[in-house]
Amino acid sequence: MSVSEQDELILNAYLDGELASIEAARFEQRMAKQPGLAAEVDARRALRDRLRSGFAEDVPSDDLRRRIMASVDSAGERKASSWRDRGPRWQRRSW
Partner 1 sequence: MNVNDQTDQTRFAEVFLPHLVDAFRLARWIAGNRADAEDIVQEASLRAFKGIRTFSGGNTRAWALTIVRNASYSWLAKNRPSMVVLTEDLDQRAREEMEHAAGDDDVPTPEAALIAKMEAEEVRNAVAALPLPFREVLVLREIHDLDYRSIADVIQVPIGTVMSRLARARKLILAALQESTP
What b/e string do you get for 63-95 counting C-beta neighbours within 10 Å, with b at 16 or more?
A: eeeeeeeeeeeeeeeeeeeeeeeeeeeeeeeee
Residue of 61, 85, 94, 95 that binds partner 1 (CB under 8 A): 61
d(CA 11, CA 70): 47
Ranges within 9-38 binding partner 1 (CB under 8 A): 9, 12-13, 16-18, 36
Candidate list 23, 28, 59, 90; residue touching partner 1; CB under 8 A: 59
CA distance 39 to 7: 13
Q: Which of 83, 86, 87, 93 binds partner 1 (CB under 8 A)?
A: 83
Alpha carbons 19 and 10: distance in angstroms, whole number: 8
Shortest distance, CB of residue 79 to partner 1, whole angstroms?
6
Residues near partner 1, by CB under 8 A: 1-5, 8-9, 12-13, 16-18, 36, 39-40, 42-55, 58-61, 63-65, 67-68, 71-73, 75-77, 79-80, 83
